[in-house]
Amino acid sequence: MLPAKIPVAVLGATGVVGQRFIARLARHPRFEIAHLCASEKRIGLRLDEAAAWRLCDRGGSLPYAGLGSKRLLPADPAHAPAPVVFSALDTSVALEVEPAFARAGAMVFSNASAFRAEADVPLLVPEINAAHLELLSEQRAKRKWSGAIVCNPNCTATVLALALAPLHLAFGVEAVSLVSMQAISGAGYPGVASLDILGNVIPFIRGEEEKVGAETNKMLGRLLGGAVEHATIVFSTSCNRVAVEDGHTLAVSVRLRGAPSVDSVRAAIERWRPLQEAKLHSAPSAPLLLHSAEDRPQPRRDVETSDGMQVHVGRVRTCPLMGIQFIAMGHNAERGAAGASVLNAELALARGWLPG
């Protein structure tokens, strides 16, 4: 007999990340959507009245994933009680709402940035730092919550950190120079005005450059004595918006300890098999796909592999300044948002942090 599905609530259900949560969870083997929560003005509406369905309709993401008639509830544990909660809230709202659910006993898997920098909140990417889940003991003790908050990092930081992880493990990363070309879906909906980006590049994304380095150093840090010792990589970051729907492309130069060769770096990427437990449902076939074609990865052509959960690396070559350079690309709205939170919940389930 299959185990019963765990009921979950989705907070911020009508936004772009919220819709991706719905699409993923509606066909999930272990989770089942119990409640959809939205902001005040939408409470009581049916999901399909509250906002247009904006995902491309491929297998499984039928408009509203079959949940169009479900009524929206307040983002409040009294109205939407559930043992597991996925949060696509804006930061300012998350600051209040996520602790309320954690206090009420829910395990909150959050895409918001509100708690990412807190020392007792794991910035979790299962392939990179599954051990950081242990911070939850500390978090519960300190905050007197019966639930907890688990964050996934910023989308750009996630793609970068996954590409760096095997290099940090094999050699140690000392410095990173990063120029990003980021997709419009990273800004949510309505997000980037078409008048700003059609046929254009915007060489600035507010707040993004600061987040990337700080979050990557936390992600790549080691758990020592119940706390994360952050990595100390030096970052230079320049973030740009381009006219791409999904998929952040990163031009990366890295200085690695010992100045390994291009071949060693490629081998370290290919050998990397990070997750030891039984394969998680949303985990990609391999977390990194190393390309050999000289003009790949490309966001429009490669971003959908493994349901958007794979990060692509290509053009690994020598950099006259830093040693090694390459291109990394991954799905900002799946690997960097909705899929990330769901994968985190699957890891928490596998490690016994969830009921069921």
User: Structure tokens of 335?
Assistant: 């690997």
User: Quick one: which of 5, 7, 43, 189 contacts a second copy (CB under 8 A)?
Assistant: 189
Secondary structure element (H or E) that encloses residue 330, with its range:
strand 323-330
Give the interface segment with a second copy, choosing from 56-64, 138-146, 273-281, 340-348 (CB under 8 A).
56-64
- Using the rule CB under 8 A, give the single segment among 47-55, 88-96, 122-130, 257-265 that binds a second copy: 47-55
Q: Residue 243 or residue 267: which is nearer to a second copy going by CB?
A: 243
Q: Which residue in the set 56, 78, 224, 278 belongs to the binding site for a second copy (CB under 8 A)?
A: 56
Nearest CA-CA partner of 270 in 167, 343, 158, 159 = 167
**Positions in 270-329 near a second copy (CB under 8 A):** 293-302, 304-305, 314-315, 319-322, 325, 327, 329
- 47: which 2 tokens? 């999901």
- Do 101 and 8 form a contact (C-beta atoms < 8 A)? no
Of the residues 46, 54, 230, 266, which one makes contact with a second copy according to CB under 8 A = 54
With CB under 8 A as the contact rule, which of the stretches 72-80, 111-119, 172-180, 267-275 interacts with a second copy? 172-180
User: Three-state SS for 236?
Assistant: strand
95: left (phi over 0), alpha (psi -120 to 50) or beta: alpha
Q: Is 203 in the site for a second copy (CB under 8 A)?
A: yes
The one-character DSSP state at 101 is H
Q: Tell me the site size for a second copy, rule CB under 8 A.
A: 63
Task: Decide whether 189 or 353 has the Cβ nearer to a second copy.
Answer: 189
Under 8 Å between Cβ of 84 and 345: yes
Output the six-digit token pair for 325: 């350079």
Distance of CA 70 to the CA centre of its chain: 26
By CB under 8 A, is residue 16 in contact with a second copy?
Answer: yes
Rounded to the nearest whole angstrom, what is the least distance from the CB of residue 301 to a second copy in the complex? 5
Please give the positions annotated as active site.
155, 248
Measured in Å, how far apart are the chain's first and last C-alpha atoms?
13
- Indicate whether 195 belongs to the interface with a second copy (CB under 8 A): yes
Helices 16-25, 338-350: inter-axial angle, 10-degree rounding:
40
Phi–psi pair at 319, nearest 5 degrees: -115, 120
CB 222, min distance to a second copy, A: 22
Residues that bind a second copy (CB under 8 A): 16, 52, 54-59, 175, 177, 179, 181, 184-185, 189-204, 234-236, 238, 240, 242-245, 249, 251, 253, 293-302, 304-305, 314-315, 319-322, 325, 327, 329
